[in-house]
């Protein structure tokens, strides 16, 4: 095996993860929820759990679980609708604290980030010192708990923070990395899903230590290039840097219906609303996109997508809707639909290309700016096209480009939920 690039002797990566973030924000803001089993999600049993407080987890409730399953396990749990604005505000406060310790911050979502604090020793001490101070600042100023992992590489720091939960921190010295990883189950390896885990276990590889002992050649022979990847991680070899300039790959919005919808005509208003939400989010983030993606999930849970690329990037909702409508008609629907989603990829945050803008495009730009100003002052539902009178047009809790996650809303005026 070619030797991996050596990790700098004093390299320190801190992974910080807020504990049960959405649920903790709800418990913080409503004293009646303190110490209670709280589930954040929409009221529909067809939705999923967005967050579960630690009080409800002993019942087996976890995020991404179906709401129906969660309520069967914990029928007395308190279900709270998500409040995106509160989560964004808390996240901004937390990331402002991060920035006081290092500029090398790689956000993974609203509530999770890697920090490279290798150059901060003189100012703030070791990675352990930084993690301690960051967590204390978050507790004092944002009134939330966070866990942290400290290690020489990202992979190990992430595992350490997971093991430190809730409200703890765990440091793994560089020279103890392999010893730390050896007893952990193979499912901890990045890139190992249920099927790959089954294959590894079939070969007698139950732990990361067992993977490391097999050697790269043996793993590569049976698993291909992935074998080399798993071997490196099992030994804690992870040369990836913290990337503070991570940019969203897509901006999207999707909706799970309370009742399955049949036919293109029934879906059009919802796709229109999604297109407008995506466009509004693009404009807020200073982004434009060239490739439009339309996603449908039919009643048999089959997922179907269509996409098309525009000659130039756009942030105009009506333009996105018109092209998404064309994609919709390409599907040839023959069964009911339970979910639709619109997203834009091939994002561009640069200035518009110098060109002659026709009067129609200038008018659309002025209209969008006016609509944004009205929505900002009076709310997203204050003005909307006629076909969206009965459709939810507000940004959902996942209309966020930082985490590269699409929005999911319960429709017909329902609260947000995630598929």
Q: Which residues are identified as catalytic?
A: 112
Burial of 3 (0-12, 13-18, 19+ CB in 10 A): exposed
Three-state DSSP state, 247: coil
CA 54, distance to chain mean position in Å, is 20
Helix (H) or strand (E) holding 78: strand 78-80
Beta bridge partners of 75: none
Residue written as tokens 């179907």? 304
Cα angle 323, 327, 329 (rounded to 5 degrees) comes to 115
The answer to whether 13 and 150 are in contact (CB under 8 A) is yes
Gap between the Cα atoms of 69 and 53, Å rounded: 16
Q: Is 321 left (phi over 0), alpha (psi -120 to 50) or beta?
A: alpha
Helix residue ranges per DSSP H, 243-402 = 264-285, 317-330, 359-378
Gap between the Cα atoms of 145 and 18, Å rounded: 6
CA distances 299 to 132, 243, 293, 419, Å, are: 49, 40, 20, 13
Cα angle 329, 333, 336 (rounded to 5 degrees) comes to 130
What is the DSSP annotation of 360-382?
HHHHHHHHHHHHHHHHHHH-GGG
């Amino acid at each position: 095996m070619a030797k991996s690039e050596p990790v700098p002797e004093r390299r320190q990566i801190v992974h910080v993860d807020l504990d049960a973030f959405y649920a903790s924000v709800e418990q913080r803001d409503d004293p009646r929820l303190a110490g209670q089993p709280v589930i954040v999600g929409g009221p529909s049993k067809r939705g999923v759990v967005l967050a579960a407080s630690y009080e409800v987890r002993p019942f087996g409730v976890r995020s991404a679980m179906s709401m129906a399953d969660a309520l069967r396990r914990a029928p007395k749990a308190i279900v709270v609708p998500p409040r995106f604005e509160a989560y964004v505000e808390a996240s901004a406060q937390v990331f402002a604290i991060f920035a006081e310790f290092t500029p090398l911050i790689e956000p993974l979502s609203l509530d999770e980030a890697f920090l490279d604090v290798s150059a901060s020793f003189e100012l703030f001490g070791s990675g352990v010192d930084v993690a301690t101070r960051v967590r204390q600042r978050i507790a004092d100023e944002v009134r939330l708990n966070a866990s942290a992992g400290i290690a020489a590489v990202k992979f190990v720091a992430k595992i350490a923070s997971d093991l430190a939960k809730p409200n703890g921190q765990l440091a793994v010295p560089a020279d103890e990395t392999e010893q730390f990883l050896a007893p952990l189950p193979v499912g901890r390896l990045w890139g190992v899903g249920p099927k790959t885990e089954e294959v590894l276990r079939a070969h007698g590889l139950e732990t990361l230590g067992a993977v490391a002992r097999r050697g790269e050649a043996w793993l590569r022979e049976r698993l291909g290039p992935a074998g080399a990847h798993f071997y490196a991680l099992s030994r804690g070899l992870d040369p990836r840097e913290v990337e503070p300039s991570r940019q969203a790959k897509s901006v999207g919005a999707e909706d799970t219906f309370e009742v399955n919808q049949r036919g293109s005509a029934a879906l059009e208003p919802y796709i229109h609303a999604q297109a407008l939400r995506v466009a509004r989010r693009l404009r807020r983030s200073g982004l434009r996109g060239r490739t439009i993606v339309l996603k449908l999930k039919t009643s048999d849970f089959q997922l179907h997508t269509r996409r098309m690329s525009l000659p130039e990037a756009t942030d105009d909702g009506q333009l996105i809707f018109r092209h998404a409508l064309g994609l919709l008609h390409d599907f040839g629907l023959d069964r009911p639909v339970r979910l639709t989603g619109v997203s834009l990829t091939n994002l561009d945050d640069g200035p518009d290309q110098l060109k002659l803008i026709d009067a129609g495009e200038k008018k659309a730009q002025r209209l969008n700016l006016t609509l944004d100003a009205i929505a900002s002052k009076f709310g997203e539902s204050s003005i909307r096209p006629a076909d969206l009178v009965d459709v939810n047009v507000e940004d959902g809790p996942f209309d966020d480009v930082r985490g590269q996650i699409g929005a999911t809303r319960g429709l017909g005026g329902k609260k947000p939920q995630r598929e």
